[in-house]
A and B are shown apart, each in its own frame.
Chain A
Amino acid sequence: MFSNILIYFVIIPLLMLAGFALCRNDKQIRAVAVIGSTILIAMSVWLLVDYLALRQAGETAEMLFTGSWEWFGPLNICLAVGVDGVSIAMILLSSIIVFAGSFASWKIDDARHFFMWLLLLSTGVFGFFISIDLFTMFMFYEVALIPMYLLIGVWGTGRKEYSAMKLTLMLMGGSAFLMLSLIGIYYHSAPEGGQLTWNILEIAKNDAISQGWQYFLFPMCFVGFGVLGAMFPFHTWSPDGHACAPTAVSMLHAGVLMKLGGYGCFRVAMYLMPQAANDLAWIFLILTGISVVYGAFSACVQTDLKYINAYSSVSHCGMVLFAILMINTTAMTGAIMQMLSHGLMTALFFALIGMIYGRTHTRDIRLMGGLMKIMPFLGVGYVIAGMASLGLPGLSGFVAEMTIFVGSFEAGMKDFLAGAGSLRLVFTVIACASIVITAVYILRVVGKLLFGPVQDEHHLQLTDATWWERLSVITLVVSVAAIGCFPNFFESLIKFTFSPELFRAIGL
């Protein structure tokens, strides 16, 4: 068991957790946080390199580094792990954001407990991404959710109690549906008389879920994960939750946790129930298509920086689910890219917003202005994040969105030419329109917040970023630019995942 590298993605956060408990002062806590998160990044890079080397060597198995250890034998629950390109991308994303998040919360109050909860959350996130057993996956999923309550409730600002409660309850509401559908999948995971299993790969191989059951289980599964992916109309936890959360939590939550939703939709809902995914896609296409433009339009008139970003996340994460539903290799690749991209840039956004808020003590854009002059580093960072968000080539948002658009349009054309309706096509065009709206709200914020005359005399005394803040921002900016500049690397990493298995049942 301990010879499998993946296990350490869970063990190391847990060790860090123990380390925090033993630390005696903030300095040691920070040291543990930095060392731990650096190890995590190093491990994910190692994993990435190892994975690519194996693929290069002609390894064609769907998942690599697999391992399965029996846990609850009678129910066939195993601690099964394994990764493919998508998981690795997500693991990489998570470790980068944990790293940046540690630096962003350098001076947090009660650092010990903060970091303990944060690392519990990370444990859940990593565990979720490495698991290929539905039970452990779901367990880690919930492990990742609950620390949010305390992180927001204790360290948050504003209406934190309300927001924390709302966020937790809504997400748990999603997971209620999810749990039911996972159990349902378990009971249909094998043909009559076969050994039931929770293992995703085996379920997919067995392909025993009948069409009727797929129709029943798929919507619940998709909605369950979709809530975390901020799908309209279950997204309202996101603005309130983000607005009240402390910086690192917003980063982790928007950056990684919301990806759990998209990843789950892809890995569980679509992968295990492709028939229903194909037939029922239209319902969710409409919902996610609405998410995309709806979030963008909502963001246009918000005045709170975090609200703007939260709605923008609704729009961008809607794009992820939207693309997944296209059931088209290109679009799905784009969806994963978008997850990566959105994760990084939204983490960057939230980091910067947190830093700005820490100085000005307001997030209302009407009360701020001309900050570029006062804190050029943060200002430039914000502009870069904004540019990434509105899809400037060379930054991550562009490649992701373009891949999605090309793929979706292809899927739409295919439907259209086959006389299968033009829903996909129409919604693709609508989704494309979001790039304009995105530009509107991003530039609106940038213009009001950073440019123009200084609004508040007191702001003139503020200082620019400290070194740890710079480090946090630079890490994220470099990651965003790396994806934007070398998309082919990530694209090919991800693409291999879309094996014919996924499309087999629907004849694609």
Chain B
Amino acid sequence: MDYSQFLAMRQEIGVLLVFLLVFLYDTFMPKKALNATAGFTAILFSIFTVASFVWGNVGTVDAFAGMYSTSPVCSMIKNILNVGVVIVLIQSVRWTNGDMMVVRRGEFYELLLVTLFGMYLMISARHFLLFVIGLESASLPLAAMVAMDKNRYESHEAAIKYILTAVFSSAIFMMGLSFVYGLAGSLYFEDIALQLGSQVDTLLVVALAFVIAGVGFKLSLVPFHLWTADVYQGAPTSVTSYLSVISKGAAAFAFLVILVQAFGQFYSAAWEWMLYALIILTITVGNLFAIRQKNMKRFLAFSSISQAGYIMLGVVGCNEMGLAAMMYYILVYIFSNLAAFGVIGAIENQTGKVDMTDYNGLSKTNPWLACAMMLAMFSLAGIPPFAGFFSKFFIFTSAINQGSIAIYVLVLIALINTIASLYYYLLVVKAMYISPEEPQIATFRSALSERLGLWICVGGVIALGIVSFFYDAILEATANSPMFAFIG
């Protein structure tokens, strides 16, 4: 066996290394030093992130007989996720330093890093066995993380909902896989594509539907999304923010990889239309639910559902442009959503309040927090000059590249939905800025880590769009990707 193959996995190995160091730190350091676990992890991971940017890209390499594959695109999406994780880590410092978390501080970070590792595998897997391992290691530890808030009942309820539906979903997913295996005789993506030919039969369609359902669960596409809101609401805010951006970003990419690499030739025959239906449902239902939410975390859960629909628009285009637009969207979405969760977390940590009505008049008492929240909302709603506008515009542009009238209709529906989404994002702005009621939250100064996290997010929200470097870099990484060879 050629052990140099492991070099291709250097990003995964990096994550494992960080995990190991954190684990060792948590296990062997004296109790006093454990207060610094959070900072230690954040710094360590930041170093890893930088290193990964510098040395992570090894070009297009297949390893382990093609089960694992990395390419500039894969390394780019991993780097993007790393950036998000850095922000999550920074934002979570205050929460993990709380009294309740004293004994579990280390666990949180270890679990988080394991899930990240799982997501890396999902991204790089070119074989369904590896993919399933990645998927499960990305979702099972999350259940434990969701349940981390031991004293809150909601946290447990969220965890039970998550674990049961997740296992159900993976059962369905694997059922689908078993059919695929029966039809193709292999679990390699490429082999599947080669073996299946272009003949579509009913069993394959059902298998495909099950596979889509399984991954759609991670992405929380409607109608596989029902766990999302409850889990987001119940989980600790840091976990929610992690769940909503990182896990979603990884799943979106993996989804695209599976669809185009394993089932690429059925694009126009089968799953193009499935995606249309799912996108329309996801965006619309997500928006409809978001409209009347009062709990901020639940509200953002539904907003993230509809955002997932927009992310999927990058998949239907099925070309490099779409891939780039999707990755860019994920990047921007990470910053915007984490800014929102950063504010929610800061306020929750200080006052324990998470209702929208609690935000009334926030601009008077905490103008900076309110401003950060407003920018996040504008960016999520796609208002220029914030990054969200650019990502939305590019994802629509890439979708329309496909050129059929149907895609125009699809994009039009998505665009009309942006009006509804603008409505509920503006509701938050309205509560903070316009509502005449007495402010519910007294003026306070948030922790340094929270402020740092917010500044990074706000900086990203403003700069990511206007500075074209980021988009160009992503597009460069995706250029000439061989991924779309099977799109017929």
A touching B, CB within 8 angstroms: yes
- Interface set of A (CB-CB < 8 Å, partner B): 71-75, 135, 138-140, 142-143, 146, 149-150, 153-154, 160-161, 164-165, 168-169, 172-173, 176-177, 179-180, 183-184, 186-187, 216
User: CA separation between A154 and B433, bound complex, in Å?
Assistant: 7
B468 proximal to A (CB < 8 A): yes
Report yes or no: A150 in contact with B429, Cβ–Cβ below 8 A.
Answer: yes
Report yes or no: B383 in contact with A142, Cβ–Cβ below 8 A.
Answer: yes
Shortest beta-carbon distance, B132 to chain A, in Å? 35
Chain A residues closer than 8 Å to B418, beta-carbon distance: 172, 176
Shortest beta-carbon distance, A237 to chain B, in Å? 12
Binding-face segment, B153-161, B281-289, B409-417:
B409-417
B423 proximal to A (CB < 8 A): yes
Given A153-B430, A187-B400, A179-B385 contact (CB < 8 Å): no
Report yes or no: B471 in contact with A72, Cβ–Cβ below 8 A.
Answer: yes
Chain B residues closer than 8 Å to A72, beta-carbon distance: 394, 468, 471-472
Chain B residues closer than 8 Å to A149, beta-carbon distance: 426, 429
Report yes or no: B422 in contact with A183, Cβ–Cβ below 8 A.
Answer: no
B401 proximal to A (CB < 8 A): yes
Chain A residues closer than 8 Å to B471, beta-carbon distance: 72, 74
Q: Which of B385, B393, B403, B468 meets A143, CB within 8 Å?
A: B385
Shortest beta-carbon contacts, A-B, top 5: A176-B415, A153-B434, A139-B384, A74-B475, A146-B383
User: CA separation between A142 and B379, bound complex, in Å?
Assistant: 12
Chain B: interface residue total (CB-CB under 8 A):
33
- A123's nearest neighbour on chain B, judged by CB, is B385
B389 proximal to A (CB < 8 A): yes
B242 proximal to A (CB < 8 A): no
Report yes or no: B384 in contact with A142, Cβ–Cβ below 8 A.
Answer: yes
B267 proximal to A (CB < 8 A): no
- A141's nearest neighbour on chain B, judged by CB, is B384
B210 proximal to A (CB < 8 A): no
Chain B residues closer than 8 Å to A164, beta-carbon distance: 434
8 Å CB interface, B416-452 against A: 416, 418-419, 422-423, 426, 429-430, 433-434
User: CA separation between A371 and B416, bound complex, in Å?
Assistant: 46
Report yes or no: B397 in contact with A75, Cβ–Cβ below 8 A.
Answer: yes
Shortest beta-carbon distance, B305 to chain A, in Å? 20
Interface centre among B394, B411, B419, B429 (most CB of A within 10 A): B419
Chain A residues closer than 8 Å to B401, beta-carbon distance: 187
Report yes or no: A135 in contact with B468, Cβ–Cβ below 8 A.
Answer: no
Given A179-B393, A179-B396, A169-B419 contact (CB < 8 Å): yes
- A73's nearest neighbour on chain B, judged by CB, is B472
What are the interface flags for B384-402 relative to A under an 8 Å C-beta threshold, 1 for contact and 0 otherwise? 1100010001101100110
Report yes or no: A179 in contact with B415, Cβ–Cβ below 8 A.
Answer: yes
Chain A residues closer than 8 Å to B396, beta-carbon distance: 179-180, 183
Chain B residues closer than 8 Å to A165, beta-carbon distance: 423, 426, 430
Question: Could you jot down 8 A-B contacts, CB within 8 Å?
Answer: A74-B321, A139-B385, A143-B384, A149-B426, A150-B433, A154-B433, A168-B422, A169-B419
8 Å CB interface, B329-384 against A: 378, 383-384
Shortest beta-carbon distance, B197 to chain A, in Å? 32
- B479's nearest neighbour on chain A, judged by CB, is A74
B53 proximal to A (CB < 8 A): no
Chain B residues closer than 8 Å to A179, beta-carbon distance: 393, 396, 415
